[in-house]
Amino acid sequence: MSTPPVSNTVFIVDDDEAVRDSLRWLLEANGYRVKSYAGAEDFLSAYEPEQIGVLIVDVRMPGMSGLELQEELIARQAPLPIVFITGHGDVPMAVSTIKKGAVDFLEKPFNETDLRTIVARMLEQATERASQFLAQKNHQAVLSRLTSREQQVLERIVAGRLNKQIAGDLNISIKTVEAHRANIMEKLEVTTVADLMKIALTKAEGTA
């Protein structure tokens, strides 16, 4: 079995110290880097979205619950796959959390083989999500260079409007549209409309 990359971290959030220690021991024995927290608030204060990792979190905790932590991470658009752990097998809750992006649902006591399999799968997804998150962030930074008028022109290019139509929409000349279009291509460092569409659509997906 290959050793997982140390840059990939498994975050554990559980108010039960025995559970945290047990999970840490199991995961570190399999080569994973682990960070554990006694509460959701402690985790949120330390977590950076750029970190590639996965979150194993207890559903029921004092203060912010695991479900509330999931909602907060969704609000922050954090690219972090989540697995909930619980001693209370609740099928409707499991369905609800998985629909919101949780990868799996573990019941105590843990089966080491199941845990290892789930974490490996989660880390694959975490790497993919982190790559998408970084691309969206970079595209948003690039798009912020555009003036408000250039953004209006770009929106219409993406919508499939022709230069003549864009000129009519914005009450400007076709030559002005062409100039804006050239500036947009230069600022976004693209040479084709296809590449332009990729950047604009990635931003739209990230804000949907």
pLDDT tens profile 137-192: 777 777 788 888 998 998 898 888 999 999 999 999 999 999 999 998 888 888 88
The structure tokens listed for 81 are 């796959």
Q: 207 pLDDT exceeds 90?
A: no
Cβ of 81: how many Cβ atoms within 10 Å? 24
Could you tell me where in the chain the CATH 1.10.10.10 domains are found?
A: 145-207
Q: 94 pLDDT exceeds 70?
A: no
Give the pairing type, strands 33-37 and 9-13: parallel
Q: What is the mean pLDDT of residues 91-102?
A: 68
Which CATH number is 145-207's, of 3.40.50.1100, 3.40.50.1820, 1.10.150.20, 1.10.10.10? 1.10.10.10
CA distance 149 to 162: 16
% of the chain beyond a pLDDT of 70:
83
Q: What is the mean pLDDT of residues 18-35?
A: 92
Q: Is the pTM of this model over 0.75?
A: no
CA distance 198 to 16: 45
